[in-house]
A and B are shown apart, each in its own frame.
Chain A
């Protein structure tokens, strides 16, 4: 391995990391702003111009709070919980293709931290591990309400992972690859997967709401029944980590939605741009296109949050197991028949 690749990859990793952190930070501000706008208010507007420094102020506040440690038999796991949540939320961004390629000093730089063949499965793996942060932290809190909330969160996540995986299978049957890079490349032009897989997209969207614990599936946090949720016993920056991880995972799942179904970095006329303006300019526009798409999805998350009341727990489970899973399986069958039909192998 030569040093150029190491430098290139480290720069990419740092950039992706910084972007994720920055987006998670500003997602907190955006959440409050969108909530305010949807309720005919203005929202935070005191820290900086139009409230632009509000995330910094929030962070400062969290840092300066007392770090409270409950009387728990397991202090190590108590600290490990938020750390796991945070690192898992940040890990996913490694496989996301932010653009096709750049040409810098005669080298072709792939705008992706790692291009592994099983990128999509990697995302799923990291997602499924994400429950541990909540479960371990809640158990180590030595608080039955935290535990109850962790139970809710994890059973919800496990249930919806099934439907999510099934909805993805229909997509994989079309793409024939697990590499996010190839899936992105296949959608060039306006061949976005959402046009071929609308039902799959819908199921995936609903499931990603459940996976990120967002309204209408935010049953893990509940002031009326559970005091606070799984982070009841947490304070200061440990609590901040949990909240931050939630926003980071929201950012990541918006990105994955954009990459899988909304054509990733592709935009109409990209081929023309490559020919006329050069690879670099075309791909930077591509990155901006992806960014715009994922920003839309982040906004969509918030839009839904401030529109829909939460489901009851039995409704949540019924939706997951009795609606989405049969729908996803039906989608797989229909997709299979369509693929066979278009190949001319049917009958």
Chain B
């Protein structure tokens, strides 16, 4: 079988340049067929989602803005080991570690914590490798359910702990939920 006559896609259609008859040249029948197709679409379900009121459901593995988690007692999980920064292919994460003081026991779970934790959202590719690398379950991309918003300045895209750490109220709510269960 020659290559020219073979149908690679299985949908090959021979082009014919045959002269149209008078009736065909009036285009009437084809026009009616086309109109029937479009009128069918008039009654099909509309796919539009009215955005501000309605939000499209996200996939379960959807990755958005990072969240630094707290445990049930409201203590930060992160121990500033730096594995996330190491695993990050885009080199978006930087951090500074400090030692926990005795008076800060209710704030941080481990003895070491990140005093500065910054993610450059312009560099981040939301691959989720930091989440996989974290041994302490501290960083998640799937839990915040927010998109990284747009900004006017480059500096505003460097998210510090103020934006990344889970709010205390949410941690308390999680704790209550766990107790109730």
Contact = CB atoms under 8 A, between A and B. Distances in A.
B50 A307 contact: no
Contact of B25 (A39, A307, A323): A323
A318 B27 CA distance: 12
Contacts of B22: 323
Given A38-B42, A39-B41, A323-B25, A303 B48 contact: no
B38 A41 contact: no
Contacts, number: 42
Interface in A195-234: 202
A5 interface: no
What's the interface size class on B, roughly? 10 to 19
B38 A303 contact: yes
A37 B35 contact: no
Nearest to A306: B38
A40 B47 contact: yes
Contact of A41 (B26, B31, B37, B48): B48
B103 interface: no
A323 B28 CA distance: 12
Interface string A283-311: 00000000000000000000110111000
Interface string A305-347: 0111000000000110001000000000000000000000000
Interface in B39-62: 39, 41-42, 44-48, 50
A189 to B, nearest CB: 28
A306 B41 CA distance: 11
A263 B22 CA distance: 31
A306 B40 CA distance: 13
Nearest to B26: A323
Contacts of A45: 50
Interface of B is mostly: helix
Contacts of B26: 319, 323
Given A45-B50, A303-B35, A304-B35, A40 B41 contact: yes
A192 B119 CA distance: 75
Contact of A40 (B25, B34, B37, B44): B44
A308 B31 contact: yes
Given A41-B48, A42-B48, A308 B42 contact: no
A41 B47 contact: yes
Q: Using C-beta atoms within 8 Å of the partner chain, give the interface range for chain A.
A: 10 to 19
A138 to B, nearest CB: 29
Contacts of B31: 304, 307-308
A37 B48 CA distance: 10
Contacts of A39: 41
B31 to A, nearest CB: 6
Contacts of A42: 46, 48, 50
Contacts of A303: 35, 38-39
B41 A37 contact: yes
A46 to B, nearest CB: 9
B35 A307 contact: yes
Nearest to B34: A307
B41 A38 contact: yes
Nearest to B45: A40
Contacts of B34: 307-308
Contacts of B46: 37, 40-42
Interface in B123-168: none
B156 to A, nearest CB: 29
Interface in B63-114: none
A263 B27 CA distance: 27
A37 B50 contact: no
Contact of A307 (B38, B45, B47, B48): B38
Contacts of A37: 41-42, 46
A163 B30 CA distance: 22
A83 B46 CA distance: 40
Q: Which of A40, A45, A323 has the most CB of B within 10 A?
A: A40
Nearest to B52: A46
Contacts of A41: 46-48
A159 B89 CA distance: 67
A202 B29 CA distance: 13
Give the most central of B25, B28, B42, B50: most A CB within 10 Å: B42
A45 B46 CA distance: 13
